[in-house]
Structure 1
Amino acid sequence: MAYTTDFEKLKKQLNFKPDPTRPVSKQASKNTKMLFEYLKSIYGKKHLAGQQYLQSEEVEDLVYYHLTGKLPAVRGYDFMGVSSCKKTDDQVDRAIKWATQCGGIVTMCWHWYAPNDMDDYSKGSSFYYKTTSYDHKTCFDLCKGVTEGTAEYEFIIREIDMVSAELKRMAQLDIPVLWRPLHEANGNWFWWGNHDEQHREAYKKLWYMIFDRMENYHKLTNLIWVWNGQDKCMEVSPDTFDICGDDIYSVKEYDHSSQKQRFEYMTELAHGKMITLSECGYIPDPDEMKKDNAMWLWWLPWWREFVYKREGYKPVFDKDGYTVINKKYMTEDFMKRVMAHPDVIMREDLPWYDKDKHKLPDALSANLERIKSK
């Protein structure tokens, strides 16, 4: 008999009395627990520098390495290529190499492609919902997606299992993952987002289905759960997440503030759990964070123009072949100061980093070789 989530049984398992001192995963591996303990030990004192990636060239690294000689400690990748609707990309493989070969920390999100027509996936798919202004969008019905017996429900289960298989591949290599599914749920741009009361309840049901299936059916051992619902109306049980995340893309110019108000609001939702800036446009200034007691665990600028200057979709390189920093989001002086700040942890500052064992990412090595041969 196929596994389905017994919501009443799950509700009894969740005591709604969160214990921030331990991971919510009952079968967390030793290495996953060690990462969780490390995060706890630095929380409120230091910040992990992070960066999100997409393209295989990863030219964001050229900015960081050229200006600082180091790389951010946390690297963000996406399960967007693990889908019935979209060709597979290499992001999972790159995440694995980052952890095993480079010694960094991995966080994974999931821009979940869903079909516009359940009978014919070729008619288009997207993670953007039909009410947005994007060209590619979907009419996927979330409410049907959490209702047994529907084609949408079968799609949901199949996709969760596909992503679980990739997470299991990472678990077999003993790679802990800061796992952030169903992100930015407070907004209406994703099909799992906040469209109305019915959709809010369906989102919560889907969160519990993902949590239950990965924890109790697939029994994954490498997950540290990051909830990114961002609003009280989207709250799920704190027994199903370890970290509360907020995504902030400020419309103010050069806004390197601590985002104190958002941090304080996240504190209300976190139930004593750690709080992180799971995506951002501007990196907050460490001095401002300390002054305002808004101590985000890590920050994660988005890829491409949030780091480097571009013309169209192509990066701009300087005369030596290095990617040019996009001064709209940070100046060279700001990056150098922040990445050398005593409160900021880069990959090279991680306690397990070994310069004799851990190498640079393949794409960065290839880019540096290209520059050297000019």
Structure 2
Amino acid sequence: MANIAWNRRLQVEPKLINKHADDCAKRLMAYLCDTYGKRMLTGQQIGVLSTPEMDVIHNETGKYPAIGGFDFMNDSPSRVEWGTVGTDTELALKWWEDGGIVTFCWHWNAPKDLIDQQPDNGWHRGFYTTATTFDISHAMDDPTSEDYALLLRDIDVISALLAKLRDAGVPVLWRPLHEASGAWFWWGAKGAEPCIKLWKLMYERMTNKHELHNLIWVWNGQHKDWYPGDEFVDIIGEDIYSPEKNYSSNVKRFRQALDYTSATKIIALSENGPLPDPDSMLADGALWAWNCTWYGTFVQKQDNDGFAVVSEQYTERDMLQKVYHHAFTVTRDELPDLESYPLPE
């Protein structure tokens, strides 16, 4: 009976929380549901200042990851004020055109009240609780306040970028307000209640005002008490940074994520350090829908000549090769044509 119950949790209906979801989002969700429990999509986050990760993986394995991870970090208005220029929207468009799936997070620099004390709490680290005095609880408690208005301003700025992807027919695995329960980001600094309010506000504004019907909402709060409700979550993500060269399946966290709700939701490894061993995942039943390795030394380093090469600090070459050539994993060349994938009935 236990196995039957377990298998049912892996049988997710391709129904999105947005009743007006675009066909592109419906097709991607249908593919993810068809694949879930059978195979894991490979994924990789690109860097902020330089983006060699995809080429390093391809040079080493002959494969590209199925999912490309992008970030609206440098599009945050309080960073743009300091001269940053966001580039990930265009990079994501190119990734989709090349046959990959797009996921976005947002290291949201606080809208105001940056401490800007170098070196650890400079303006560029304004998404961290230690680098801002912005109070999410105050903002969410007073919709007439300047702080609340600035939250709306920032949401609207990012919505305009997501609209470019929508207009190009790109579905987005959208993962905002990530790792909230850890409290190291300002959106989680005041507890679950204001963060859940902000999640719901963002969902309503992006869906109803901006008509971003290309989004699949990936919640990544990492604690049951922070769950905003089944009607506000399409997919659950867990971020796990195991010790160096630890290739465990992380089955305890997989089961933890399943317990956030009694509803059947896809569970993804939305960030990771070392890659999980596919054989361990299969043996343990930790059947993550996808993984997304973080950037930098988690996958690459510069050699003595200044060229980006594989870094074996977290994942050794043999394991990288194993993951990218394993029967359980999906790489970009194995993805179907998601623009014509059958719509769910």
TM-score of the superposed pair, with normalisation by structure 1: 0.80
Aligned to 2:9: none
Aligned to 1:308: 300
- Partner Cα separation in structure 1 for residue 13 and residue 151 of structure 2: 30
Shift of 1:253: 3.4
- SS of 2:73's partner is coil
Identity %: 41
Q: Which runs of 5+ in 2 are unaligned?
A: 1-11, 117-121, 340-345
Whether 1:281 aligns to 2:273 is yes
Whether 1:202 aligns to 2:199 is no
Aligned to 1:256: 247
Aligned to 2:257: 266
Q: Match of 1:97, as an amino acid? A: K
Aligned to 1:88: 85
Structure with max Cα Rg: 1
- Partner Cα separation in structure 2 for residue 32 and residue 71 of structure 1: 22
Q: Match of 1:129, as an amino acid? A: T
- Partner Cα separation in structure 2 for residue 176 and residue 112 of structure 1: 21
Is contact 1:20–1:242 with CA below 8 Å preserved after alignment? Answer: no
- Partner Cα separation in structure 1 for residue 311 and residue 288 of structure 2: 23
Is contact 1:106–1:176 with CA below 8 Å preserved after alignment? Answer: yes
Aligned to 1:359: none
Is contact 1:145–1:155 with CA below 8 Å preserved after alignment? Answer: no
Deviations 1:139-194 (A, max 9, x none): 1110122121111101000011111111111100000000000000110110011x
Q: Which runs of 5+ in 1 are unaligned?
A: 1-18, 131-136, 310-314, 355-374
Q: Match of 1:22, as an amino acid? A: K
- Partner Cα separation in structure 1 for residue 221 and residue 30 of structure 2: 24
- Partner Cα separation in structure 1 for residue 220 and residue 245 of structure 2: 24
Deviations 1:4-49 (A, max 9, x none): xxxxxxxxxxxxxxx8430111111112111100000000010000
- Partner Cα separation in structure 1 for residue 49 and residue 298 of structure 2: 17
Aligned to 2:233: 241
Aligned to 1:160: 155
- Aligned mate of 1:189, from 184, 187, 195: 184
- Partner Cα separation in structure 1 for residue 322 and residue 136 of structure 2: 45
How many residues are paired up? 316
* Change in CA separation of 1:339 and 1:353 when aligned onto 2, cut-off 3 Å: farther
- SS of 1:212's partner is helix
Deviations 1:76-120 (A, max 9, x none): 0001122221122211110111112x11000000000114538x9
- Aligned mate of 1:290, from 265, 270, 282: 282
- Aligned mate of 1:344, from 321, 326, 329: 329
Deviations 1:318-361 (A, max 9, x none): 7xx8633221211111111110101110001101289xxxxxxx
* Change in CA separation of 1:71 and 1:353 when aligned onto 2, cut-off 3 Å: farther
- Partner Cα separation in structure 1 for residue 26 and residue 304 of structure 2: 41
Whether 1:335 aligns to 2:311 is no
Q: Match of 2:279, as an amino acid? A: D
Shift of 1:57: 4.1
